[in-house]
Structure 1
Amino acid sequence: MKHIISAIFFTGILMSCNSSDKTKTTIEETAPKETTVENAPDKTNNNLKPIDSDEALIATALMAAPEVSRADCKVIGYNMAGEFVTLKEGNNEFIVLADDPKKEGFSAACYHKDLEPFMARGRALKAEGKKHQEIFDIREEEVKSGKLKIPTGATLHIYYGKSTLYDPATAKVDGARLRYVVYMPYATAESTGLPESPAASNHPWIMNPGTHRAHIMISPLPE
């Protein structure tokens, strides 16, 4: 019986967040509510190496973007020296935010360039020392006033995991998976027909309904 209770308790913890803390603080998207299982490092792959160069940051970040678009994506983020810079120039519709090498775990994101003003505003407010709710409230007012815009249907691709080891031959981060966010400002469960919590893993649901940050969340299947 004690084992069953422990298992239930542990499952409850997992249900509160299925991503690394880095995903939440860097991308500013809250993790899904459903229970998921993080992949364990692949101990059979002897080619895994740490992400310890700007080139590795770029290569692994691009895994967040659709494969056919990776070559022409712009990549921004912190370099190994801790400076927020443009790591790679690009000329298509995507911007990729690289993993922050100074934070635990791995998290990179790809989004449409029209989302950059919204994302940049969040980064600026965070740099000012604003907390999550303050950032939310400020951007809520700025979107309502028309100062900020969030394109309806713009998608955020989040590539995340606990490991910071990757395979240089493929650029895949060990155990990392993709989660998708589709922005639908001010959408609700009633206006979309989607539930406010997932029916099961990989089922879409609407998060932050009725606010500027309303979005459809699609999380990966547990493996």
Structure 2
Amino acid sequence: MKRIITAIVFTGILISCNSSDKTKTTTKESSTTKTVTESVSSIDTQLKAIDTDEALIATALMAAPEESRATCKVIGYNMAGEFVTLKEGSNQFIVLADNPKQAGFNAACYHKDLEPFMARGRALKAAGKTSEEIFAIREAEMKSEKLKITSGATLHIYYGANALYNPETSKVGGAQLRYVVYMPWATSASTGLPNAPVASNHPWIMNPGTHRAHIMISPLPEEVKQ
């Protein structure tokens, strides 16, 4: 199934390219088709399952700024299903690895000052609280200053539908980055940002006026960047 998804994506790219330039010759189109086919085959043989703790660490670190990866702390579920520290760190970042028991891929990197807030969310979820209950509880705890979020603290999310990666680069097939900049209690009026994205790749403010108000920035996938 993973290979089928990858093939569909590349086929879509090929069709788009062909439709945008009708003047291409049959020879050139045939050459392009051959190149893409060979590329898909090459990628399929490169991508491997994330099936070891080492692979979990390597792929999770792709969520962190490149220059900081070597000294990031990595936490998350290991292959045995235990929530542990997968890698000790010494800088300002904590990286949450992908959960191997869940479909797709999702890793996150955030400033260590956000850990109490993140840990509280994990604890409430483990206690069986719903998303709405977790939101309400942390809202109350933020208002009482039991919890704190530093305005401007950033969450880097590396995510995708594919759970396969390239062992040579640690990149996950089809994964991309998204950024969240926390600004508790901020609104559209206080920031000048819209409450919904006006176009792809444009920042906007989500959960305005709440403890979880944040700027959303979703870069375009690499394959569609201009």
What is the distance in 2 between the residues matched to 1:215 and 1:142? 17
For normalisation by structure 2, the TM-score amounts to: 0.80
- 2:42 maps to what in 1? 44
Corresponding residue SS for 1:91: coil
Give the alignment of 1:93-104 within 5 angstroms: 93-104=92-103
Change (3 A) 1:42 1:183: farther
**Which is bigger in relative contact order (C-alpha 8 A, separation at least 6)?**
1
Unaligned runs of 5+ in 2: 1-38
Aligned length: 183
Q: Displacement, 1:206?
A: 0.1
Larger radius of gyration: 2
- 8 Å contact 1:42–1:174 — kept in the other structure? no
- AA at the equivalent of 1:81: A
- 2:120 maps to what in 1? 121
Change (3 A) 1:42 1:78: farther
Taking only the aligned residue pairs, the percentage that are identical comes to 77
Change (3 A) 1:126 1:42: farther
- 8 Å contact 1:160–1:177 — kept in the other structure? yes
Unaligned runs of 5+ in 1: 1-40
Corresponding residue SS for 1:143: helix
Corresponding residue SS for 1:210: coil
Give the alignment of 1:20-169 within 5 angstroms: 43-45=41-43, 46-169=45-168
What is the distance in 2 between the residues matched to 1:145 and 1:202? 35
Q: Displacement, 1:57?
A: 0.0
Could you say which structure has the higher helix fraction? Answer: 2
Q: Displacement, 1:42?
A: 5.2
What is the distance in 2 between the residues matched to 1:43 and 1:124? 43
What is the distance in 2 between the residues matched to 1:92 and 1:221? 28
Q: CA RMSD in A?
A: 1.1
What is the distance in 2 between the residues matched to 1:69 and 1:184? 24
For residues 96-123 of structure 1, the C-alpha deviation after alignment (integer angstroms, 9 at most, x for no partner) is 0000000000000000000000000000
Change (3 A) 1:130 1:43: farther
Q: Displacement, 1:49?
A: 0.4
